[in-house]
Amino acid sequence: MTDSLAIQGGAPLRQEPFPEWPIFGDLEREGLMRALESGHWGGEGPIEAEFSQQFATFCGARHAICVANGSITLELILKALGIGPGDEVIVPALTWLATAWAPLQVGATPVFADISADDWCIDPNDVRKKITSRTKAIIPVHLYSQIAPMTQLLEIAREHRLHLIEDCAHTHGSEWEGQPVGAIGDAGSFSFQSSKGMTAGEGGAVVTNSDHLADLIFGLKNCGRRRIPDSPATFGSNNRMTEFQSAVLIGQLQRLPSLMETRAENINYLREALRTVDGVKVLEPKKEVTRQGMYCLSVAVDDRAFGGMPRDLMVDTLQAEGIPVTPPYDVVYRSTLWKPSEKLWKFAPDKNPRKELGLDAHCPISEQVSLHTGLAFNHRMFLGTKKDMDDIVDAFLKVQKHADDMRWKSLNKKFRLATRKVLGKI
Ligand SMILES: Cc1ncc(COP(=O)(O)O)c(C=O)c1O
């Protein structure tokens, strides 16, 4: 029985959990006590100043401005760049909603471009096709473990006089040709939300080399107050980060390089080991990627090597074996969360909501990866041992060994329901 699949009642290949996230220790504990005892708990305190300085240096940027989260960061960057109603912003179809949400928040229209199959990042050729006279900016996302093709995107941005905003929510510490991500274009947006590679539970930062942009964003997140005395006030709300978050992030930034090293070592080992498994491919970093930060490892599967097993069923089967893999994001315009009700979200009378939301978009590669071929392994899974990596490989092999069992095809639905119950999803 031990050899049969766990989803069919066999013993799971792996019983012990993968490393938990977040990781913390004395660095964060002492930082939190320092914030607590300082009496300055809100935003714009000395601990935030310290963290912003350190994070700017880490990103090779002149400025880092701490903000409440990595969604508002994108919105504030667009606002500071003067992007608003009537403008279009090109975003990848495969990303977390926040990337496309930001243009909507400032009254602009997100326009979806497809991704490339080899990195799941925005495809520069499709970006070119989506440019119109109304396009003002491109927001590439450095998705999961990859970096968007910045050299080509910079070229397009220069050629068409567009702003380039990097969504770096997944890539703390990555470098493109030796340059840290974030300030390669006009500005970069980072998230410190719970699942990210460094975290304070919530939080975000904008990095930029532009003094002007930094000053505007500081005002926009701080009720209109400007950082540089005597410059005119902006019209902003409160999007500040607390001293507690900054204190935790100082610790997280300090431990990041060693975590990056552990992740890289394990991923290299896994990549090599998976070369022997038919139909499973860890996406390769491009030659320009000189350092790879990480949110999830992107893995493509070919169902033909698994007897035609649907990807979602493969996810359930691997999970039942003790491997906490997930599918990638929904394509934004297909997401159940991308459906504002008219009561909660009103478009201007001259706007067509379907068009503003891009609901008729069709980005075939994004859809293929999201629905059929993509798997994502969270970075926490690479903070342990080589044995953890061997278990991932063995789980694929175990599933593959049973994949030709024709019962999959007739019993798919039943198995899926059973697994969902086992995993507590329903
Ligand atoms: C690609 C991407 N952009 C932006 C965000 C938004 O970050 P936050 O959750 O801090 O608002 C996320 C968060 O998951 C993300 O994955």
- Sorted by where each starts, the structural domains of the chain and their CATH numbers stand as 26-252 (3.40.640.10)
Best residue among 66, 76, 94, 96 to mutate for probing ligand 1's pocket (most ligand atoms within 8 Å of CB) is 96
pLDDT band at 418 (very low <50, low <70, confident <90, very high): low
Three state DSSP letters for the chain: CCCCCHHHCCCCCCCCCCCCCCCCCHHHHHHHHHHHHHCCCCCCCHHHHHHHHHHHHHCCCCEEEEECCCCHHHHHHHHHCCCCCCCEEEEECECCCHHHHHHHHCCCEEEEECECCCCCCECHHHHHHHCCCCEEEECCECCCCCCCCHHHHHHHHHHHCCEEEEECCCCCCCEECCEECCCCCCEEEEECECCCCCCCECCEEEEECCHHHHHHHHHHHECCCCCCCCCCCCCCCECCCCHHHHHHHHHHHHHHHHHHHHHHHHHHHHHHHHCCCCCEEECCCCCCEEECCCCEEEEEECHHHHCCCCHHHHHHHHHHCCCCCECCCCEHHHCCCCCCCCCCCCCCCCCCHHHHHCCCCCCHHHHHHHHHHEEEEEHHHHCCCHHHHHHHHHHHHHHHHHHCCCHHHHHHHHHHHHHHHHCCCC
Distances (CA, A) of 135 to 87, 90, 361: 6, 7, 17
- For residue 331, how far is its CA from the centre of ligand 1 (angstroms)? 15
Mean pLDDT, residues 349-362: 94
Mean pLDDT, residues 140-161: 97
Q: Which atom of ligand 1 is nearest to the CA of 98?
A: 4
Task: Tell me: pLDDT of 355 over 90.
Answer: yes
Identify the pLDDT of residue 413: 56
Nearest CA to ligand 1 atom 7: 70
- For residue 38, how far is its CA from the centre of ligand 1 (angstroms)? 30
Mean pLDDT, residues 175-192: 98
Quote the longest CA-to-CA distance of the chain: 76
pLDDT band at 232 (very low <50, low <70, confident <90, very high): confident
Nearest CA to ligand 1 atom 10: 70
Identify the pLDDT of residue 238: 96
Identify the pLDDT of residue 20: 97
Identify the pLDDT of residue 364: 98
Identify the pLDDT of residue 341: 78
- For residue 169, how far is its CA from the centre of ligand 1 (angstroms)? 5
Identify the pLDDT of residue 424: 42
Q: Which atom of ligand 1 is nearest to the CA of 195?
A: 14
Q: Which residues line the pocket of ligand 1, CB cutoff 6 A?
A: 69-71, 95-96, 98-99, 141, 167, 169-170, 191, 193, 204
pLDDT band at 414 (very low <50, low <70, confident <90, very high): low
- Model pLDDT for residues 8-36, shown as the tens digit of each residue: 899 999 999 999 999 999 999 999 999 99
More confident residue, 264 or 227: 264
- For residue 98, how far is its CA from the centre of ligand 1 (angstroms)? 6
Query: Percent of the chain, pLDDT > 90?
Result: 87
Best residue among 144, 170, 193 to mutate for probing ligand 1's pocket (most ligand atoms within 8 Å of CB) is 193
- The token pair that represents 354 in the structure block: 């379907």
Best residue among 174, 191, 241 to mutate for probing ligand 1's pocket (most ligand atoms within 8 Å of CB) is 191
Mean pLDDT, residues 380-384: 98
Q: Which atom of ligand 1 is nearest to the CA of 295?
A: 16
Identify the pLDDT of residue 130: 98
Identify the pLDDT of residue 27: 97
Phi, psi of 181 (to 5 degrees): -70, 155
Mean pLDDT, residues 46-63: 98
- 160 CB neighbour count, 10 Å cutoff: 14
